Amino acid sequence: MTNLVPVYVIGLSTDEPANEVLSSKFSGSLEKVKQVLPDIIEAKISVKSQNTEGTRTHYDVTATVLTSKNQLIYTDSDWDILKIADNLCRKLEGELSKHDDKRQRESIRKREI
């Protein structure tokens, strides 16, 4: 039973290859993070393009992960949309290590004296 988290990419046209790359990479990272954040509702990736009339385009990307308790927001900007996708995934997967040390302590009552 794997219910995929919906990922919405805003600011890129649907036929642009970067759109598919961003959503598929981020979806993969979301599936990994679901171990520690099982209450993820949806993810939204907002892309703002700058300098579009030149030969290169600069991207400002904001990824918002909505959980039932709070919002996680990650931002990155670069000339390369693929590098941004990797950086955002790395930031999201950083949640795994944050939650790793919050394991439940052994109960005092269950300790042998």
Entry pTM: 0.76
Q: Output the domain CATH number for residue 31.
A: 3.30.160.100
The identity of residue 15, as a single letter, is D
Task: Classify residue 76: in a domain, yes or no.
Answer: yes
CB atoms within 10 A of CB 4: 9
Task: Classify residue 67: in a domain, yes or no.
Answer: yes
Could you report the per-residue pLDDT of 83-101, keeping only the tens digit for each? 999 999 999 988 877 765 5
- Looking up tokens 């509702």, which residue turns up? 41
Task: Classify residue 110: in a domain, yes or no.
Answer: no
Task: Give the domain range for residue 38.
Answer: 7-97
Query: Count of domains in the chain?
Result: 1
Could you report the per-residue pLDDT of 20-64, keeping only the tens digit for each? 888 889 988 998 888 888 888 999 999 998 876 778 888 999 999
Task: Classify residue 113: in a domain, yes or no.
Answer: no
Task: Classify residue 87: in a domain, yes or no.
Answer: yes
